[in-house]
A and B are shown apart, each in its own frame.
Chain A
């Protein structure tokens, strides 16, 4: 197996480079996925039927907490990759674990937010607006949830097999995914919540 020794561990083999490029292309597809959800959101945002509007149901505090939790988790996983490149396995695993924990906190707040919406009469079946709102937030949340399980699998593999070209590659790709979810959240935060509460 030919190793590019001048590159970081996650890029060393040819398959590693293929995996990373392939994942970037997947992220391009995900940009379109969320782009479509946003297009639908902006189209349906004022179509509230008999249900409530955004201004009536959004609350700044949980949204701010979610935002800072996710932003921090993105920072922490950045630290994790940095540690990985320095070969510090334990530091990296700790940072990863903290990232996943913060992700869990984010999800907790989001689930609480959803339950709250249902209670105040803004459920999935209330109106077109609530449907697209919950679907957009829910798709992002589902991606985070999937990420939690995926990240856990990678953490377990690093624990068992150490930092190899393969595990480093997987961890790097996971970090791309996680950063991307943060980017999507920035757009949700700006154009769903803040715009809705302007």
Chain B
């Protein structure tokens, strides 16, 4: 029985026990359901072994939405605990676990898969390609992310959650101060998911550089594709840094090394340094595709082309480079001298310039446009003023001398939520709503969507604006409670009320998905928004091969121009189409990775060796595989096209 003690939760509570039961029951329900409805074969053939970028995009999307729920529940718990002084809802240990989980889930397991969902579904369609450069690798990327997420998510019921913050600073995250396996989960889940992301980075860059349809030069690509290119360029160079940092952290915790310790030469600051060398580019990885989404939506619903395409492209390229030069602003107070801090202050303020250019370009696009306030447009227009608040407070924080006042107060928490939520989350909801009809063949309900928007937009400000003030008044970050005499009570209560509003807004979002799935008409046009870019030139639903004939594009808004000027987008005859085969190896290899990660977390060395061999075996199998895909004959294409056109 001693052996099994290590899997126990160090700090249980009724909520955790309830979750264990819920997870168990849900797992049983899923297995029972699949068996009863005889859907195992379907699941394996259509989803677990798919290499289709559209299916993979949808799987990323479902995962992101589920993780949004988990991260959101964490948020409500935090706001509830801090709503009144001396609250007893969560004790300090639980509060630490909750804010740690909230941060990791929202950034790594919600926002990242969300952007990859949109990039996966949309980018190949926008460039007229049939899939990404490496479809099997794409599937592997998804399953590695999924297994990383699963590994992280079981931490709170087996062994204990990480509790050292999403930044997991040493020496707190070391063995002396974090004795449970929670931080091991952190190190390994992020490592596995990070590997998936790195592979995606390579995949998308190759795809965008080499698989564009004829006529689509780099400067004629849709702006969302440009944002995907720049974001994935950051991924390729930022994620290896995280790989090394996590490796060193794992070694400190499991192999007794002295990288980040406070003795024998260890340097705990080095963790913070390496983490943020990755961490800052990471937030630009999140925001650039979001900016790309906004550019597409604003242009579509202002009924005019994007203002300043060239400067939009240039600004994203510059941002992607500058994002690597600012990381020290996350630890201005760690002891560097004034010269070092000033250098990074300057680079931090510099990065606001290309971002500002983008904001002005969006405004100029709106200026002469004929604006239609659909739900995606509401989010995009709402984003501009709200994000600007985040941006200007960012410049305040970027002044290193001033940052000594703001650092790690609620002011900082408010700043980054004011950039990430309007910046990334609004864009994801907008992008989801915008591309939903292309993904699923029906529209999300506009009325419910608008209610959700207003609840979210207003409640967001009610939740986070007070934090600027409590932060300036001295409320520190990550405080599980405070006494009444501090006076933080009323504004924190206001934040809690805002959080409840946010919960309502997100619940409306979920309800919208349910309601629309049930009641929305499936009889919609393949171009319901009267849009401008190539992904809308496909049928609903998009066939597996995307385009029957590879499009010939002549301008940035090829589809719009073909509608307005009658130019032929799909010249030529049907030819047989080469498509990749499904493969079970990505899923199986990822299952090995899950078991590998789990074994590593608990220091179970024999299972670790066995699972490592399993992973390597999958790689050898892949090396020797001769899989040349299959061809879709002209007859099949004709049949499919007729069927889709008639519908």
Contacts and interface: CB of A to CB of B under 8 A. Distances in A.
B237 A36 contact: no
A4 interface: no
Contact of A44 (B202, B238, B245, B270): B270
A135 B248 contact: yes
Interface in A100-142: 124-129, 131-132, 135
Q: Which secondary structure dominates chain B's binding surface? A: helix
A61 B265 CA distance: 28
Contacts, number: 118
Interface stretch (B30-38, B255-263, B500-508, B517-525): B255-263
B255 A125 contact: yes
B198 interface: yes
B264 interface: yes
Nearest to B255: A124
B251 A131 contact: yes
Given A125-B257, A128-B258, A40 B270 contact: yes
Interface in B229-279: 236-241, 243-245, 247-248, 251, 255-259, 261, 263-267, 270, 274, 277
B265 A47 contact: yes
Interface in A70-108: none
Contacts of B203: 22
Contacts of B545: none
A181 to B, nearest CB: 15
B623 A150 contact: yes
B240 A33 contact: yes
Given A32-B241, A36-B240, A153-B624, A43 B264 contact: no
A50 B211 CA distance: 56
Interface in A160-187: 161, 166, 170
Interface in B600-636: 616, 620, 623-624, 626
Interface in A22-50: 22, 25-26, 28-30, 32-33, 35-37, 39-40, 43-44, 47-50
A51 interface: yes
B206 A21 contact: yes
Contacts of B258: 49, 125-128, 131
A154 interface: yes
Contacts of B211: 18
B169 interface: no
Interface in B167-201: 198, 201
B628 to A, nearest CB: 9
A67 interface: no
B560 to A, nearest CB: 29
Nearest to A129: B265
A17 interface: yes
Interface size class of A (residues with CB under 8 A): 35 or more
A1 B241 CA distance: 39
Interface in B87-128: none
Contacts of B620: 149, 153
A132 B259 contact: yes
Contact of A29 (B133, B202, B263, B265): B202
Given A25-B236, A36-B241, A128 B274 contact: no
Contacts of A17: 210
A166 B624 CA distance: 11
A10 B75 CA distance: 53
Interface residues of B, number: 43
Interface string B130-160: 0001100000000000000000000000000
B264 A128 contact: yes
Contacts of B239: 29
B263 A49 contact: yes
Contacts of A153: 620, 623-624
Given A28-B236, A129-B265, A40 B623 contact: no
Nearest to A125: B256
Given A29-B198, A128-B264, A154 B623 contact: yes
A40 B248 contact: yes
Interface string A144-162: 0000011001101100010
B265 A48 contact: yes
Contacts of B266: 47, 49, 128
Given A32-B240, A43-B270, A135-B248, A166 B626 contact: yes
B209 interface: yes
Contact of B237 (A29, A50, A132): A29
A43 B259 CA distance: 11
B377 to A, nearest CB: 36
B213 to A, nearest CB: 13
A28 B237 contact: yes
B133 A51 contact: no
Nearest to B629: A15
Given A22-B134, A22-B203, A29 B240 contact: yes
B298 interface: no
B644 to A, nearest CB: 27
Given A32-B240, A40-B270, A150-B623, A124 B264 contact: no
A195 to B, nearest CB: 18
A170 B624 CA distance: 11
A148 to B, nearest CB: 13
A48 B264 CA distance: 7
A25 B257 contact: no
Contacts of A129: 265
9 contacts: A18-B134, A18-B210, A22-B206, A36-B241, A44-B259, A44-B270, A124-B255, A128-B258, A128-B267
What 8 pairs across the A-B complex have the smallest Cβ distances? A47-B265, A128-B265, A49-B264, A49-B265, A33-B240, A131-B257, A32-B240, A36-B244
Interface of B: 133-134, 198, 201-203, 205-206, 209-211, 236-241, 243-245, 247-248, 251, 255-259, 261, 263-267, 270, 274, 277, 578, 616, 620, 623-624, 626
Given A29-B201, A40-B270, 17 more contacts: A22-B206, A25-B206, A29-B239, A30-B240, A32-B236, A32-B240, A33-B243, A36-B243, A36-B245, A43-B267, A44-B267, A126-B264, A128-B265, A135-B257, A149-B616, A153-B620, A156-B624
